Structure 1
């Protein structure tokens, strides 16, 4: 992606995606959806995983805490995996890493579905599960940044926002897919069957389809941007991470601020919403599950739409609209359901639509870094911020909700305005750089 100004509406409208570019978007989005599906089903099935992989002599709450600890280990592995894969993506090529990441997710997921439990392997069962979970975290650390870079560098000028949004929509669609599979599992099997063996089915499905996605990705072409850099010998000659820390500290900081907003929207308004509503307002689990599905569907639609608008509207202007909307959606979700019984799916859907800010985040990060270190820059900022805020957000929310049920909304609002500042500063810095380049050319 070049550093040229955002194209006009007429120029953007004149650009259409070719069949080859549509095929790339479909395969990239499918793989991303499967990776996020593989990642989140562990959270949905944590209670059953705890029954099979930890000693029966332990208290139920302790086993569940240990299972969620394994879930958190995936977040801790994301920065290391993402940075290593991004390093090779900037030096050896985007396609190789993009294909490897989905395989690194699929194989551990399949093995989770086949892994014997504590009764068979003893202490080895949770240890192997920990290693598999960390492999998943490393894979997803490279998947989202790699996917954003890959599709953006394949997209025609004036359609980068749309291409990035379709991929991001595929990622969030993976959460929706995981919710639907778990819902189908619980409606077709008895509770006993799900507990005994049915919980393995979602992992096996995800692993098989992930391997299929990896095979399909082998037919993708390397991005034109990387091929051109390689031909001109413009790929990073030293460690991309070292170049970033030397020359791009400010874009990294701004990108981390925007990623904080993304994590707040996803974690607080989507993933944590069902248990919070059950605890805070005693809303039945069936209603919170339906609300989660509605919110995720609306989130996916919103992300694609908002990302596409960045092809014609400056990021700074979009942030001034999407940031306050995100805060308003959070307050509606966490304040209105108690006043309107059985209305949670409505407010959850509204909150999902207000999460369009999520679509601005990858666009801003892609514009912040030049092609030579783009993969590493996006991966470094995104994964470190996600590891920090993804891990701290549940603890912060849990500690604050006893003081006020609006704590989740307040937290999202603070993160939203931090993200607005990050996008505004990144966009302003880019406009300044473009003006300087134009002035040097005219001279």
Structure 2
């Protein structure tokens, strides 16, 4: 891995002022509101599958179709990530930060106002697909930009906690989505949800989005980018071209650790509530209560792993986190296979262990020098998320033909093993200064 040029301040060299602390808080809060907008879709996949496709569509096919629309958001992420990262490396992190949240708020609000299949026919799923793609473009620029933003505001020795704090903030968005799904499923009947209840979380998400737009007004540009601009050391031409020419190993590392992040978040947090209802007979109330507890523990787990990164280093923390995640995942699925008697305390434990994903952004931030950091991280992260996020459901369904209901656990464990290999490989290389 390459080092930052001497003229550029090392990552996090500037002390953290009161204004910087406020900036980090606002970045995390805005990220939470925006990430809620992106993930709430999956919590209402089942009612959406009934409303946006013909009544005579088999339930399994309608569910797969709506998950396909959900996956389209992942496929669109690289487009938004590449474009926003390019301008983020050329014009500044702050400008793209504000644009991404605005692009997320509009389609989320629009989804809550969409006509359903019974009203407009095939136009309904087509509009849903289009709005989901716009959401994907927005989140593709938001998440990598947020990690770069907070990392470049953090003091030396606190980059791990800063990145994990932002990741924890993003997972608060998952928690808000889970809580809204739990509340709606508990207080509304199935018919009420289909009639109007499903619209509530999207309308609320639109409001959240515009609140996040307002919050972003108070952000300040990162010290690292400001120094690059003052020294006229910004990337010239296409930053991504420099990434491909000089930092391919950083791209590979970013993609591989993102694979574990994708599997942990998508399988164990976003999809599991619906999965345990359909495959293991867990009630909707219990599934979403467990998910809310797991999402809360995930927020705490990210912070804990961030502290661990600053104490023992991102490489060893990645190894420890991947091994612990594997053990916890198997404990949960063995319990589910046996009837799920311990589901409501094992699931929160797994949520905490999923907090190992809080290590991933530090690994990726360190993989690229400041002039091309946004572009390099964004490309590796978004391409991997698009590839693995869009195919996870299909891969698990295929594996289930041979491995049964334990297929999701085996998949997560394999991605964790890949992360272990990456961690060991990184340990054999010198620590970058950036």
Query: Do both share a fold (TM > 0.5)?
Result: yes
Structure-2 separation of matches of 1:394 and 1:59: 18
Aligned to 1:222: 221
Aligned to 1:208: 207
Is 2:70 the counterpart of 1:71?
A: yes
Large movers: runs of 4+ above 6 Å: none
Aligned to 2:9: none
Per-residue CA distance 1:274-330 (angstroms, 9 max, x = gap)? 333334433333222222122222121111111122123122222332221111111
1:247-286 to 2 correspondences below 5 Å: 247-286=246-285
Is 2:98 the counterpart of 1:99?
A: yes
Shift of 1:138: 0.7
Aligned to 1:182: 181
Q: 1:369 to 1:417 in 2, by over 3 A?
A: same
**RMSD across aligned positions (CA):** 2.3
1:258-337 to 2 correspondences below 5 Å: 258-337=257-336
Structure-2 separation of matches of 1:337 and 1:116: 38
Structure-1 separation of matches of 2:191 and 2:385: 36
Structure-2 separation of matches of 1:105 and 1:414: 32
CA contact (8 A) 1:161 1:311 kept: yes
More deviation, 239-248/36-45: 36-45
Shift of 1:120: 4.0
Aligned to 2:421: 421
Q: TM-score, normalized by length of structure 1? A: 0.90
Structure-2 separation of matches of 1:286 and 1:64: 20
Aligned to 1:145: 144
Structure-1 separation of matches of 2:285 and 2:208: 28
Structure 2: unaligned runs, 5 residues or longer: 5-11
CA contact (8 A) 2:319 2:419 kept: no
Structure-2 separation of matches of 1:369 and 1:428: 18
CA contact (8 A) 1:310 1:360 kept: yes
Q: 1:164 to 1:330 in 2, by over 3 A?
A: same
More deviation, 314-323/212-221: 314-323
Structure 1: unaligned runs, 5 residues or longer: 5-11, 438-443
Structure-2 separation of matches of 1:400 and 1:382: 25
SS in 2 for 1:272: helix
Q: 1:409 to 1:55 in 2, by over 3 A?
A: closer
CA contact (8 A) 1:229 1:235 kept: yes
More deviation, 160-169/22-31: 22-31
CA contact (8 A) 1:255 1:422 kept: no
SS in 2 for 1:429: coil
1:30-179 to 2 correspondences below 5 Å: 30-56=29-55, 58-179=57-178
More deviation, 329-338/368-377: 329-338
SS in 1 for 2:312: coil
CA contact (8 A) 2:179 2:288 kept: no
CA contact (8 A) 2:258 2:381 kept: yes
Structure-2 separation of matches of 1:167 and 1:393: 25
Structure-1 separation of matches of 2:169 and 2:329: 23
Shift of 1:187: 2.9
SS in 1 for 2:221: coil
Aligned to 2:410: 410
CA contact (8 A) 2:23 2:219 kept: yes
Q: TM-score, normalized by length of structure 2? A: 0.91
Structure-2 separation of matches of 1:411 and 1:137: 24
SS in 2 for 1:202: helix
Per-residue CA distance 1:378-399 (angstroms, 9 max, x = gap)? 1101011111111222222222
Structure-2 separation of matches of 1:122 and 1:409: 38
Aligned residues: 424
More deviation, 140-149/156-165: 156-165
CA contact (8 A) 1:254 1:425 kept: no
Structure-2 separation of matches of 1:70 and 1:209: 22
1:317-396 to 2 correspondences below 5 Å: 317-339=316-338, 341-396=340-395
Aligned to 1:9: none
Per-residue CA distance 1:234-265 (angstroms, 9 max, x = gap)? 11101111111111111111111111111121
CA contact (8 A) 1:149 1:366 kept: yes
Structure-2 separation of matches of 1:66 and 1:145: 28
